[in-house]
Amino acid sequence: MKNTLLVMALACLPASLFGQACVDSTLIDPNVLCPALWDPVCGCDGVTYSNDCWATNYGGVTSWVAGECTGSVEDCVDLGGVDFGFCDMAMGVVLYNGSCTYLSGCGWVVDEVDYSVYSFASMEACQSACPETSECIDPSLADPLIDCNVFEPVPVCGCDSLSHFNECVATYVDFVSSYEAGPCLGDCFDEARVQPEMGCPENEDPVCGCDSITYSNACNAWYYGGIAQWTPGPCETNAVQEATASALALHPNPANGRVYVTGWQPDRAAQLRLLTIGGQPVLERTSTESGQWWDVSGLPTGFYIVEAQQTGRPAVHQVFIIE
């Protein structure tokens, strides 16, 4: 929903699925006569080009910011077109498709470019250094007279590369200036969508989520499962798949004070652990309930991992942030 983040999760997907690559070799045309004008731009590849013509036709870069590259976060280089890979490693805060957000991936070095220099120390530092970076989010769209339906999801993919609940929510709640029908390509699970307190209708209209779990209706798929894609009807899975399926989720993420952890099956005890990003346990619990609140107010700011394991099932991990 509003201020939805690209938070870290096992279900995170490569950035290349959501936007253009930073360097597009098809744009390179050495026969183009670019002006010998020094009006430098800093490409998304961290290279300074004489002007935007040189950046496009000689470098093939798809995005840049005005001025020379300094090799620091002050360049406000947008990393939305860089593919950091299909991994759940928490990396830091970056400018992504015009918005400051938390990033995950397989590592900072992509195509021999080290993008770690563009990682901010905090969300506040990013927002302070790179204000008004995108025309995609337009707060002027707010209209208190509009009452959106928040119980019937018809996802759309916003220009911010995030899936939004429906057209109304995208426009008047999330302030997205443009979008396309359907969830964003490759978007399945995002814990930022999990809001168990929403109270979905109890009508039975089952859908099969992209996580192979059957939900009683689409509203539950979105708010309880954090799922953006589904098909009508229950999942056609065998007993083993049903037993091992899990949608471990945390809300809110980032957390401040406490976090709601849910997603394991309530039919048997779940062994739960809270780990530092380095794997050091800081909390261990056993639960037979489907979810519980954890007090994390005394833990330092940083990235943490929640691990849930039930008898006969592999451990399921989810990453969240304490700020």
Q: Summarize pLDDT for 56-85 with one digit per residue, the tens.
A: 888 888 777 788 888 888 888 888 777 787
**Domain-embedded: residue 205:** yes
pLDDT of residue 45 exceeding 60: yes
What is the H or E stretch that residue 239 is in? helix 239-244
**Domain-embedded: residue 53:** yes
**Domain-embedded: residue 86:** yes
pLDDT of residue 306 exceeding 50: yes
Place of tokens 């997205």: 176
The strand pair at 113-114 and 281-287 is best described as unpaired
**Domain-embedded: residue 212:** yes
**Domain-embedded: residue 240:** no
Residue 24 phi/psi, 5-degree rounding, is -115, 105
**What does pLDDT average to over the chain?**
76
Tell me how far the alpha carbon of residue 258 is from its chain's centroid.
21
Question: How far from each other are the two terminal CA atoms of the chain, in whole angstroms?
Answer: 19
The predicted-structure confidence for 261-289, as pLDDT tens digits, reads as follows 877 666 667 788 887 766 678 888 887 77
The predicted-structure confidence for 115-144, as pLDDT tens digits, reads as follows 888 888 887 788 778 765 456 778 778 888
For residue 24, the enclosing domain spans: 15-129
Q: Is the pTM of this model over 0.85?
A: no
pLDDT computed for residue 247 by the predictor: 58
User: 219 versus 303: which is more confidently predicted?
Assistant: 219
pLDDT of residue 34 exceeding 50: yes
**Domain-embedded: residue 238:** no
pLDDT computed for residue 6 by the predictor: 30
pLDDT of residue 46 exceeding 50: yes
What are 287's two structure tokens?
A: 């639960």
Residues 277 and 308 in one domain: yes
Cβ 96 vs Cβ 78: under 8 Å: yes
Look at the chain and report how many structural domains it folds into: 3
pLDDT computed for residue 10 by the predictor: 27
Place of tokens 């708010």: 223
pLDDT of residue 50 exceeding 80: yes
Strand ranges inside 230-297, DSSP E: 230-232, 249-251, 258-262, 270-276, 281-287, 291-295
**Domain-embedded: residue 9:** no
The predicted-structure confidence for 159-203, as pLDDT tens digits, reads as follows 877 899 999 999 998 888 888 899 987 788 887 788 877 888 888
In CATH, what number is assigned to the domain containing residue 290? 2.60.40.3080
Residues 157 and 224 in one domain: yes
Residues 112 and 167 in one domain: no
List of residues 6+ apart from 132 with CB closer than 8 A: none
Q: How confident is the model at residue 155 (pLDDT cuts 50, 70, 90)?
A: very high
**Domain-embedded: residue 213:** yes
Residues 269 and 293 in one domain: yes
Provide the CB-side half-sphere exposure for 251 (13 A, CA): 21
Provide the CB-side half-sphere exposure for 301 (13 A, CA): 5
Residues 96 and 167 in one domain: no
The predicted-structure confidence for 5-28, as pLDDT tens digits, reads as follows 333 332 333 333 333 467 777 888
